[in-house]
């Protein structure tokens, strides 16, 4: 029986869009609702109960980051690729996407109200392709080929967090407002 998929938290980017849009400092360390963007993301990852790996070595591109993380977690039962700038993703969503790999599909992608989001999950037998990635494109070519082969399960979730990434100060403010609203209902 294969092991559980590993959540790969990608934190190697430089956040250039954030600073170009007027943000100050590294976006993952930006304060948000009493913590940082990265700590909120990691809190959800930890709460999911799934194994995880933080890839923060400063690779030149997303593909390089994914490849390094997959090599570091060789033998995993698959991978959930989660950019670290998604602080609102919910632990239950991570579990749902991981469970979607239990069938015969080679990948799973969550959707929120018709919009595709993250994490994108890949089955264990995608490991060699993922470990060979490089450059800025990430795993999009692999996912596209699997989608063309009808090997991707689309998972509808009620989680705005899968599409709420932080690339500008305005997006950070919006995410913080959503987080504070969520915390006030808890």
- The CATH number of 6-185 is 3.90.550.10
pLDDT at residue 110, as a whole number: 98
pLDDT at residue 1, as a whole number: 40
The whole-model pTM stands at 0.94
* Angstrom distance (rounded) from CA 4 to CA 147: 23
| Residue 2 confidence class, pLDDT cut points 50, 70, 90 | low
Residue 138, pLDDT > 70, answer: yes
Report the length, in residues, of the chain: 186
Long-range CB pairs of 62-65 (<8 Å, 24+ gap) are 62/10, 62/12, 62/13, 62/135, 62/136, 62/137, 62/138, 63/133, 63/134, 63/135, 63/136, 63/137, 63/138, 63/139, 64/12, 64/133, 64/134, 64/135, 65/10, 65/12, 65/13
Mean pLDDT, residues 15-24? 82
* Domain boundaries defined on the chain: 6-185
Tens-place pLDDT, residues 92-121:
999 999 999 988 899 999 999 999 999 999
Helix or strand (DSSP H, E) at 34: none
Residue 135, pLDDT > 60, answer: yes
Tens-place pLDDT, residues 62-80:
999 999 999 999 999 999 9
Instruction: Name which residue leads in pLDDT, 141 or 22.
Output: 141
> Read out DSSP for 8-69?
EEE-----HHHHHTT--S-GGGSEETTEEHHHHHHHHHHHHTS-EEEE-S--SSHHHHHHHH
| Residue 186 confidence class, pLDDT cut points 50, 70, 90 | confident
Mean pLDDT, residues 162-175? 95
Mean pLDDT, residues 2-11? 90
Identify whether the C-beta of residue 160 lies closer than 8 Å to the C-beta of residue 112. yes
Mean pLDDT, residues 144-164? 96
Q: Please name which of 135, 153, 134, 152 lies closest in space to residue 143, comparing C-alpha atoms.
A: 152
Mean pLDDT, residues 23-43? 93
Mean pLDDT, residues 18-25? 84
Identify whether the C-beta of residue 82 lies closer than 8 Å to the C-beta of residue 9. yes
């Amino acid at each position: 029986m294969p092991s559980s998929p590993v959540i790969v938290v990608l934190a190697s980017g430089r956040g250039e869009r954030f600073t170009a849009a007027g943000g100050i400092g590294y976006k993952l360390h930006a304060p948000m609702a009493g913590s940082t963007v990265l700590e909120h993301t990691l809190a959800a990852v930890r709460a999911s109960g799934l194994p995880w790996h933080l890839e923060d070595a400063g690779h030149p591109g997303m593909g390089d980051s994914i490849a390094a993380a997959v090599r570091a977690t060789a033998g995993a039962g698959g991978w959930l690729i989660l950019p670290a700038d998604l602080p609102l993703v919910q632990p239950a969503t991570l579990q749902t996407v991981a469970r979607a790999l239990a069938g015969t599909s080679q990948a799973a992608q969550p959707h929120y109200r018709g919009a595709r989001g993250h994490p994108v999950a890949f089955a264990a037998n995608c490991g060699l392709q993922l470990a060979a990635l490089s450059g800025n494109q990430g795993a999009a070519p692999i996912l596209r080929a699997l989608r063309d082969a009808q090997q991707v399960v689309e998972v509808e979730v009620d989680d705005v967090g899968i599409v709420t990434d932080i690339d500008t100060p305005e997006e950070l403010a919006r995410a913080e407002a959503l987080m504070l609203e969520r915390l006030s209902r808890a």
